[in-house]
Amino acid sequence: MSSFASQLIAWQKRHGRHDLPWQNTRNAYRIWLSEIMLQQTQVATVIPYYRRFLRLFPNLKSLAAARLDDVLALWSGLGYYSRARNMHRAAQEIAIRHQGRFPRDYETVLALPGIGRSTAAAICVFAFGARLAILDGNVKRLFARRFGIGGYAGDAKTAARLWRTAERQLPRRDVESYTQGLMDLGAMVCTRGRPRCDACPVAPECVALRRGSVSRLPAPRPRKALPQRRTQMLVLLHAGQVLLEKRAPSGIWGGMWSLPEVAPNADVPALCAQRYGAEVATRKALPTIAHGFTHFKLDIESQRLGVVRVAPRAAAPGVLWLPLEEALGAAIPAPVRRILAGL
């Protein structure tokens, strides 16, 4: 066993996290759920979502049988909604192809929707005791600093070096403690900003600390100006209800309920009458909301529209009138929730 692995295992057993809701279990469903939720999301944010999710979907069978709307509603606010859609698809696939049992084989787990190399490895380590290397964002930072690996982690050559390092350091025993130790050290000590090098068990051998390059490793993503986009949403209100429209299954907020979107120069009253059978009597501009995505920034302008009459055709497929309180509990994107909450 390398000195890095032995130091990490000893540190994890004494200082690491041992009482997270998804720890101290071999339940593959619960471990899978936690690993998906933890992708690009901090532990403190995930815990309440994880607990609410398990209350409604306590096992794989219940998730596979659920409506996607209900899954997305529980996920609302957690972001990266493709994770929820992929989880739902994966649960259905397991129910059909694997008789409802979470597969134990790494390659089979890796083939499930929404599961990448590191996530598949983490699931197999914690659920089945497999000996596999992980490399999530925190671990990439830890390895880049400890072993002096320069370059942006998203670059293919740098990623390959990090994976070789991860596999080379993997111990033959105590793999679960080692894997959890990587996660804990990256999240609690070797943090992006203000790392606690004085509390790090591997600091004496840290290449970045010795070279004074801790703040420069790993190299950041090459700067690229994010494009700015703009959209206009309509808040149609009638008798205490708001109109929601189902978005396409793919793309941004795929499969979720949202407010109707229109072009900036649209004839809003005519469009509402034609598309929703809604007669608009009053209009009021609402504050613009700025929302950021990975690849672009979005400014959302919205109008509050008072509707005095609704024709029967407003009950068309993909269109739904809901009381405002119910709408806030539906599967809606976070910025739409902000708009409705502001009413």
Side-chain half-sphere exposure of 151, counting CA atoms within 13 A? 13
Q: Quote the CA–CA distance of 141 and 192 in Å, as a whole number.
A: 8
Asked if 10 and 102 count as a contact pair (C-beta separation under 8 A), the reply is no
Closest CA to 282 of 325, 336, 236, 322: 236
35 carries an active-site annotation: yes
Inter-residue contact 241 to 322 (CB < 8 Å): yes
Tell me the residue length of the chain: 343
Count of Cβ atoms closer than 10 Å to residue 225 Cβ: 6
| Rounded CA separation 241/98 (Å) | 43
DSSP character string of 132-159: -----HHHHHHHHHHTT--SBTTSHHHH
Paired tokens of 84: 């929820």
Phi, psi angle pair for 292, to nearest 5°: -110, 135
Helix (H, G, I), strand (E, B) or coil at 118: helix
CA neighbor of 73 nearest in space, from 246, 329, 253: 329
- Contact predicate 275/281, CB 8 Å: no
Q: Which residues are catalytic?
A: 35
